[in-house]
Structure 1
Amino acid sequence: MLSDTLTTLLLRPAVVVPALCALVYVCVLLLKWRRRGPRLPNIPIMGARKGDWFPILQAQWRNTRDFKTVMEQAHAQYKDEAVLVPVASSPPLVMLPHHEVDFMMQQPDSVLGFNERAFELYQVDYTFVDPSVPRATLHEALLRTALTPRIGTLVPALADEVAWAFDKHWGTNTTEWRELCVFETMRHIVGGVANRAFVGLPFCRNPELVNSGMAFAVDIPLSGALMNLFWAPLRPLVAPLITLPNRIHTRAFRRLITGEIKRRLKDYDARQAMSPDEAKSLPVEPSDLLQWSIHQAKSNGNPFLWRAETLADRILIVNFAAIHTTSFTSTWAVFDLVASIPRGTVDILREEIKSVLAANGGAWTKKALAQLVKLESAMRESARLSSILAVGLGRVVVAEEGLTTPSGVHLDKGQHVAAPVYAVMLDDHVYEDAATFKPFRFCSAATEGGGQRQNYVPLTTTGPDFLAFGHGKHACPGRYFAAAELKLILAYALLHYEFEILPVKPEGPWYGLNRIPPLTATIRVRRRTNV
């Protein structure tokens, strides 16, 4: 009786039709997935061992647990060869040898796709509330054409925000030492300073807005890595749960900034309806990324781009790009300086900062920041020694016929490729005594016309031996802003605070393809007097 009742229930159209639809859906996904996967090249598999039944999966497990060792072994054993590097947070990756970086840079986007790599690594179709916003990639052009040329006009406001943020997060007590978590305070400082340029006052000092932006900056790489753990046909099923924080923080950010966006859009339309003489009587427009985004959207002519939600999401994307990496880089820089040998590094940098400020009327300008050559050398050296990237120049082969490298390795369409970063920047053949922090490695004194001048390599200069910001036409478009921001932050910290020197630099964990600074490590600081 029970079996007859159960059979009757299962054969009801309300059960059969959804079940068949689900079966067809899964079959379609399986067929799409089988067609999409590239054939892996026959090259050494890092992490695989003789006798493995499932070398890719087993190597993926081992590499994910200890990616640092994998990078060191690949560089030591296969320095001039391409290797396959399976890792859980990414599709199987072919790491080309260092000497083929120039070959990679010569390939057009129609052969090696830049955006395709980012879209799949971060699984943007699932991790963003509206995937069409990151896929538009308009922010890259805006950073190059609007943000970078205006860095000079932004410096006074950024310097003001740096001072406010340090007073809040590091304190003003000149008598007692204070123990603080470097990463936790740095990410709040970076978040506020970056948003001073992105959305301006008072929004950059709204803790809920800044916290939403910082949380989103963590959400994207974390949820992207988790999504990559799952078989492609299962991702639509697990995405709603994995990306729940993304949606929460996106909606919170939208709620906090949408009113200001709508006000600015209304003001923009009103100005456009006026004659040039009438518009002169109005207050000056804000000079920040949000305002430039509005101008870009309106000039594009696509109404979707000037929706308040679209503009809010674009600011969030830049928060993700700017806060995540700059927080890591500034945290490593503090530890490199506070634990540096020789011990006088902080004093030398402090004297340079005081001298430059005195020569520029006590105020930071773009010109003054350019004169901090020793500090910039120390920043570049920290980015080299403590690189947050294990591999860089990530691309995807998009040419239908694939791509054959100079060493004869053929890569099918869909294959992900990259170049070594961490191992190269710690190679003694590339950098003398590479494992040692030498803060003035990238600057030197030179005599010119009877006087002294400093030769130095800027932090923003890229090359095959320094891929912290990428290289070529897709090098980080915001690196000039990031360099100015980092200089202001480190200069303020060094000038206004005493540091208890650390005997040993703390090490951080490795997560997938990235080397993370110690997230809970602390230092002791005290506000200096008579600055």
Structure 2
Amino acid sequence: MASNVSIVYALLSVFVVFVFSKFVNHRAQMSKLAAIPTLGSSGFLSSYLSAFRFVYHARDIIQEGYQKHYNSAFKVPLLDHWLVVVCGPKMTDEIRKATDEQLSSAEAFAEMLQTDITMGKTLRADPYQIGVILNALTKNVPARFPEVHDEMKTAFNDLIPPGEEWVKVPVLKTVLNIVCRTTNRLFVGLPLCRNEDWMDLNIFFTVNVFARASIINLFPTYLQPFVGWLITPRPASLRRAVKHLQPLFEKHFGLEGTTDDIDPASQSNNLLLWLWRQAQEGEQRTLNDLAMRVLSVNVAAIHTTSMAFTNALYYLAADPKLAEMLREEVETEVGRKGWTKNAMDGMRKLDSFLKESQRLSGTSAGTGFVPNLFFTY
């Protein structure tokens, strides 16, 4: 009996400390943001009611703030922080001109996804995988484009078989699988890109990084590492990734392997190879480190592309005339240039449609970070 009472007192003590720390954090944030008008309530407890309302009515709340505070800023309470929204050309131009030291989207991304906990500190300490994406990956897309096109066709045929009847398709689930297969044809090649467990791992890890980070962000900073240790999918996911990437790693970088004479059009010219070439000697060239970076690149590719793809499909479903116009442009460009990157570059209407779709759905919103302050525009 006494032990049960002790447990209850211990849990109560933890709860009291947790609530008190949230209260102190709320007061500290409010003192910095006091001059910015609030949409909803700004009280310690009542702000959580406004935060729950934002979950279901975000578009309406942002629209209201835009109309009331155009060319200014306003703040909205979220469950884990205050969201400061700026609108109008005057304010957004100031943010656009900010230096990386003043405003860093990388820091905002790391804060939002708790990358030190969900993906490991080494990825942020030396994020060379970003340079690999911007340079090596972009440079090699034209040579590998036929493979990407082949995988996209195969994925569509497998997941949405051709037929004459209308069928129900779970859009986001299907898109996640198509995007995962297509991007991994470029990242790791056949047959791994079609491996069910590899696909499940990358989709699971992507979804859970966002979900677990949202939970971790609800806790005070000093508790976040402990909470992350309890719920992060990183250790188990890394073990699965290493198991799948081990054969590729040994083929490229074993005693018999070489990275000097790989054909750019070969599927051996993949993400693992690009990361290896950019990595420093030592820890960065271990399979564990490379595998974690492959997972992190998949998180960025799968989440961003899947959300943009899904929203674009919804807009096409709402206005089928757009599909006819875009199909005509695609057929014209492909008829002249074949399924190549040059043909894709010539699809101006498609490019415009996708950009507008992202603008309307909010997936193109930029987020920046200044110490203790978020901007979204």
Is this a same-fold pair by TM over 0.5? yes
AA partner of residue 224 (structure 1): A
Change in 2 beyond 3 A, CA 1:41/1:168? same
The amino acid across from 1:348 in the alignment is M
- Within 5 A, what are the aligned runs for 1:49-68? 52=43, 54=45, 56-68=47-59
| Aligned equivalent of 2:197 | 208
**1:240 to 1:366, Cα distance in 2 relative to 1, 3 A:** same
5+ residue gaps, structure 1: 11-18, 399-413, 420-531
The one-letter amino acid of 1:354's match is E
Letter of the aligned partner of 2:327 in structure 1? Answer: R
Report deviation, 1:58.
4.5
Quote how far apart the aligned CAs of 1:240 are. 3.1
Distance 1:365-1:104 versus aligned 2 partners, 3 A rule = same
Q: Which position in structure 2 is the counterpart of 1:265? A: 253
In the superposition, relative to structure 1, how do residues 135 and 122 fare at CA in structure 2: closer, same or farther (>3 Å)? farther
Q: Give the deviation of 1:355 after TM superposition.
A: 2.4
CA deviations 1:409-447 (Å, max 9, x no partner) are: xxxxx222222xxxxxxxxxxxxxxxxxxxxxxxxxxxx
Alpha-carbon distance between aligned partners in 2 of 1:326 and 1:371, rounded to the nearest angstrom: 20
**1:329-381 CA deviation, whole Å, 9 max, x = no partner?**
111212211220xx433333323222222222xx3111111222232232223
Q: CA deviation at 1:142?
A: 1.0
Partner of 1:304: 283
Q: How many residue pairs were aligned?
A: 362
Q: State the partner residue of 2:111.
A: 120
Per the alignment, residue 269 of structure 2 pairs with 287
- 2:326 paired with 1:349: yes
**C-alpha distance 295-55 of structure 1, shift in aligned 2 (>3 A):** same
Q: CA–CA distance in 1 between the matches of 2:44 and 2:160? A: 54
Q: What is the match of residue 367 of structure 2?
A: 394
In the alignment, structure 1 residue 46 sits paired with structure 2 residue 39: yes
Deviation at 1:146, TM superposition (A): 0.8
Matching residue of 1:465: none
Q: 1:405-416 alignment to 2 at 5 Å?
A: 414-416=372-374
1:78 corresponds in structure 2 to 69
Contact 2:188/2:267 (CA < 8 Å) preserved in 1? no
* C-alpha distance 96-373 of structure 1, shift in aligned 2 (>3 A): closer
Aligned-residue Cα RMSD (Å) equals 3.3
**Following the alignment from structure 1 to structure 2, what is the Cα–Cα distance between the partners of residues 105 and 350?**
35
- The answer to whether the Cα contact below 8 Å between 2:252 and 2:258 also exists between their aligned partners in 1 is no
- Percent identity reads 27
Q: Deviation string for 1:457-497 (max 9, x for gaps)?
A: xxxxxxxxxxxxxxxxxxxxxxxxxxxxxxxxxxxxxxxxx
* Larger CA Rg, structure 1 vs 2: 1
1:136 and 2:148 aligned: no
Q: Counterparts of 1:396 and 1:375 in 2: how far apart (Å)?
A: 32
Does the Cα contact within 8 Å between 2:175 and 2:310 map onto a contact in 1? Answer: yes
Q: 1:96-138 CA distances to partner (integer Å, 9 max, x unpaired)? A: 333222222222222223322122111123222x332244221
Task: Structure 2 unaligned segments of length 5 or more: list them.
Answer: none
Give the secondary-structure state (helix, strand or coil) at the position aligned to 1:241. Answer: helix
Residues in 2 aligned to 1:84 and 1:348: alpha-carbon distance in whole angstroms? 40
Hey, what's the Cα distance between the residues in 2 that align with 1:201 and 1:37? 52
- 1:60/1:40 CA distance change after superposition, 3 Å: farther
User: Deviation of residue 213 (structure 1)?
Assistant: 0.6
Opposite residue 300 of structure 2, the aligned amino acid is A
Per-residue CA deviation, residues 242-292 of structure 1 (Å, 9 max, x unaligned), is 32x44333322222113322331226x8537xxx8xx699x9782222211
Question: For residues 60-116 of structure 1, what are the alpha-carbon distances to aligned partners after superposition, in whole Å with 9 as ceiling and x for unaligned?
Answer: 34334432222111101111222222211x422322333222222222222223322
Other-structure match for 1:185: 174
349-358 or 322-331: bigger deviation: 349-358
Rounded to whole Å, the distance in 2 between the matches of 1:179 and 1:152 is 34
Q: Please say if residues 262 and 308 of structure 1, whose CA atoms lie closer than 8 Å, have aligned partners that are also in contact.
A: no
**Whole-angstrom CA distance in 1 between matches of 2:52 and 2:322:** 41
Which residue identity does 1:291 align to in structure 2?
A: L
Once residues 266 and 172 of structure 2 are traced to their aligned partners in structure 1, the CA distance between those partners, rounded to angstroms, is 37
Q: How do 1:121-520 and structure 2 match up within 5 A?
A: 121-128=112-119, 130-173=120-163, 175-243=164-232, 245-266=233-254, 270-271=257-258, 286-297=268-279, 300-301=280-281, 303-340=282-319, 343-360=320-337, 363-388=338-363, 392-398=365-371, 414-419=372-377
Q: Secondary structure of the equivalent of 2:143?
A: helix
Higher helix share: 2
